[in-house]
């Protein structure tokens, strides 16, 4: 199996259909994409690169992403797309980790990377690149076993050292199949990439590619309202992948006017917790039929559970509040269980680690047998997320295992406190982390971004109306903004570090 043939297969039936487009309207059809990918594959071989070698991508969103991906796969290579916001030295560390022979970089990143990289760097704006993609190559694609590695997904690393989840051609095909079964794409739908292609957006784009649908690539970082509105007008209907922060912005009527909203086929939201209160606002603003919630991780790319659009419209047998606070139902082709510390499956209602099995689950971490070993338990992928199943089959995440706060021997899930505080009208954003405490071991502390005036006392009284006393934050820090990764995930590690630098003065006032 070689996914590098995706564009060729489409080109054989609809060669002139648009494959990739930039937000200024410049388009490339499937025949051209297939030809350029083949040319690339030949170029890699001409450089002496052998099947199984790695090529790293240091690219902000760029129209050439897909031709490089497909060309590399046709040549049997493994791609390692890196977060474009990494510092050059951080990118070099990832390239050293996977032993990349070549790095392909977008023009604004290439000089910085070249200054520190201990490998060759090819700038997509260079003449060398143009020549590599302009050849007329007829070499057949390398034949690969389906468990051949295709994509090293460097986990976003909100904590700890980044590891390369090794995704095989078979894993990615399973991801595409599951997406088409659970969400699907209509024949008149395009995918609009506002999020980095190196992460879930690029992975989900493969399904659109396979279906012969256009992808509109917006440059990373240009997520302002006029740019999104303009890009939406390039296609009749577009779907977008959005982390919760972006979904919240898209739900704002000042961001997407009615005309632009009419062009939205679907917003696939996920990648980080979506709070029930925010989801209600998004449903109100955009309509449940335009939303689809996805829960996954690099190790099981984009594919563990989902909230189908039809349930966001009409919850059916499911309790509405439970549905909106959940990550939905297990995805097609994926088994999901909740495991206790002893590795046994837990009954409905009990919280434990979410574990996953299926064709979509990674082969392991690149060159890291010890981490791979830890990531699996009896053949199940350990997600590190804590969740529980409800009686109607909905999976609710209570937290990341490592974010859980243990206070006086009781487990406190920050997510629960965050959901509670978000119901306060003055709270715009909140993140709760554990702070070391002599008496209790740890106590929860809330970092809050306010939309209007409120005091710690107001929030404390408010918490007492919805969560148990022992769970309420023992301290509040009011901040202008929460630290976020370039993928939009709140960096709790930074909040913990801030607390370490400036500990709470008095944590004894309440219990
Ligand atoms: P990454 O591998 O960087 O995509 O991070 C995956 C992690 O993000 C998961 O293990 C979850 O902790 C979190 N995550 C992803 N999607 C969701 C979601 N829909 N709801 C809550 N958390 C999510």
Answer with the residue of higher pLDDT: 227 or 430: 430
Residue 487 CA to ligand 1 center (angstroms) comes to: 11
Cβ-in-10-Å burial (0-12, 13-18, 19+) of 198 comes to: buried
Ligand 1 atom having least distance to the Cα of 270 = 19
Atom 4 of ligand 1: nearest residue by CA position: 297
User: Quick one: pLDDT band at residue 220, thresholds 50, 70, 90?
Assistant: low
Instruction: Reply yes or no on whether the pLDDT at 404 is more than 50.
Output: yes
Q: Where are the beta strands (DSSP E) in 232-278?
A: 237-242, 264-270
Q: Is the dihedral of CA 463, 469, 470, 476 positive or negative?
A: positive
| Interval 234-245: pLDDT, tens | 999 999 999 887
By DSSP bridging, strand 102-105 and strand 27-29 are unpaired
Residue 258 CA to ligand 1 center (angstroms) comes to: 30
| Interval 266-294: pLDDT, tens | 999 998 778 898 899 999 999 999 999 99
> Could you tell me if the CB of 270 is within 6 A of ligand 1?
yes
Answer with the residue of higher pLDDT: 146 or 455: 455
Residue 385 CA to ligand 1 center (angstroms) comes to: 8
> In testing the pocket of ligand 1, which one of 297, 324, 375 has its CB within 8 Å of the most ligand atoms?
297
> Could you tell me if the CB of 383 is within 6 A of ligand 1?
yes
> Could you tell me if the CB of 328 is within 6 A of ligand 1?
no
Strand order through the sheet with 78-82:
120-123, 102-105, 54-58, 78-82, 149-154, 164-168, 364-365
Instruction: Reply yes or no on whether the pLDDT at 69 is more than 70.
Output: yes
> Could you tell me if the CB of 189 is within 6 A of ligand 1?
no
Residue 378, pLDDT score: 95
Residue 14 CA to ligand 1 center (angstroms) comes to: 36
How many percent of the chain have pLDDT more than 70? 96
By DSSP bridging, strand 54-58 and strand 215-217 are unpaired
Run of H or E including 329: strand 329-330
- Mean pLDDT score across all residues of the chain: 92
Atom 7 of ligand 1: nearest residue by CA position: 297
Is this model's pTM higher than 0.85 or not? yes
> In testing the pocket of ligand 1, which one of 303, 385, 415 has its CB within 8 Å of the most ligand atoms?
385
> Could you tell me if the CB of 155 is within 6 A of ligand 1?
yes
Instruction: Reply yes or no on whether the pLDDT at 508 is more than 50.
Output: no
Instruction: Reply yes or no on whether the pLDDT at 159 is more than 60.
Output: no
Atom 21 of ligand 1: nearest residue by CA position: 273
Instruction: Identify whether the C-beta of residue 483 lies closer than 8 Å to the C-beta of residue 442.
Output: no
How many percent of the chain have pLDDT more than 90? 74
| Residue ranges of domains in the chain, CATH in brackets | 22-144 (3.40.50.980), 404-509 (3.30.300.30)
Instruction: Reply yes or no on whether the pLDDT at 502 is more than 90.
Output: no
| Interval 36-54: pLDDT, tens | 999 999 999 999 999 999 9
Residue 481, Ramachandran bin (φ over 0: left; ψ between -120 and 50: alpha; else beta): beta
Residue 321, pLDDT score: 95
Residue 157, pLDDT score: 43
Residue 107, pLDDT score: 97
């Amino acid at each position: 199996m070689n996914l590098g043939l995706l564009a060729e297969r489409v080109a054989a039936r609809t060669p002139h259909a648009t494959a990739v487009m930039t937000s200024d309207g410049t388009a490339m059809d499937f025949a051209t994409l297939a030809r350029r990918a083949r040319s690339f594959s030949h170029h890699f071989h001409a450089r002496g690169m052998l099947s199984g070698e790695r090529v790293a991508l240091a690219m902000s969103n760029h129209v050439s992403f897909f031709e490089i991906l497909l060309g590399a796969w046709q040549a049997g290579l493994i791609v390692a797309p890196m977060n474009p916001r990494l510092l050059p030295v951080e990118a070099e560390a990832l390239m050293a980790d996977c032993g990349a022979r070549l790095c392909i970089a977008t023009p604004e990143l290439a000089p910085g990377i070249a200054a520190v990289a201990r490998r060759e760097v090819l700038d997509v704006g260079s003449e060398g690149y143009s020549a590599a993609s302009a050849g007329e190559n007829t070499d057949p694609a390398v034949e690969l076993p389906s468990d051949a590695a295709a994509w090293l997904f460097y986990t976003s690393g909100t904590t700890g050292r980044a590891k390369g989840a090794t995704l095989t051609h078979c894993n990615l095909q399973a991801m595409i199949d599951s997406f088409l079964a659970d969400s699907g794409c209509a024949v008149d739908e395009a995918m609009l990439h506002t999020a980095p292609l190196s992460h879930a957006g690029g992975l989900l784009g493969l399904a659109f590619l396979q279906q012969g649908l256009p992808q509109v690539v917006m440059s990373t970082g240009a997520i302002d309202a006029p740019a999104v509105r303009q890009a939406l007008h390039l296609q009749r209907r577009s779907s977008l992948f959005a982390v919760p922060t972006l979904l919240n912005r898209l739900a704002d009527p000042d961001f997407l006017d009615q005309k632009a909203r009419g062009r939205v086929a679907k917003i696939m939201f996920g990648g980080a917790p979506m709070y029930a209160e925010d989801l209600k606002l998004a449903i109100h603003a955009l309509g449940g039929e335009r939303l689809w919630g996805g829960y996954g991780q690099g190790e099981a790319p984009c594919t563990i559970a989902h909230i189908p659009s039809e349930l966001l419209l009409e919850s059916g047998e499911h309790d509405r509040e439970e549905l909106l606070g959940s990550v939905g139902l297990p995805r097609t082709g994926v088994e999901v269980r909740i495991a206790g510390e002893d590795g046994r499956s837990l009954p409905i209602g009990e919280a434990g680690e979410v574990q996953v099995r299926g064709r979509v689950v990674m082969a392991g971490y690149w060159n890291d047998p010890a981490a791979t070993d830890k990531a699996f338990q009896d053949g199940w992928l350990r997600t590190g997320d804590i969740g529980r199943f409800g009686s109607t089959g909905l999976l609710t995440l209570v937290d990341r295992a490592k974010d859980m706060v243990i206070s006086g021997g009781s487990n406190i899930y920050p997510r629960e406190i965050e959901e509670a505080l978000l119901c306060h009208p003055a709270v715009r954003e909140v993140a709760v982390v554990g702070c070391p405490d002599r008496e209790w071991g740890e106590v929860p502390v809330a970092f809050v971004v306010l939309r209007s005036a409120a005091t710690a006392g107001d929030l404390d009284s408010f918490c007492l109306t919805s969560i148990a006393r022992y769970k309420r934050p023992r301290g509040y820090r009011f901040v202008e903004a929460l630290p976020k990764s370039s993928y939009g995930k709140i960096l709790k590690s930074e909040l913990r570090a801030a607390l370490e630098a400036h500990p709470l003065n008095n944590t004894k006032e309440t219990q």
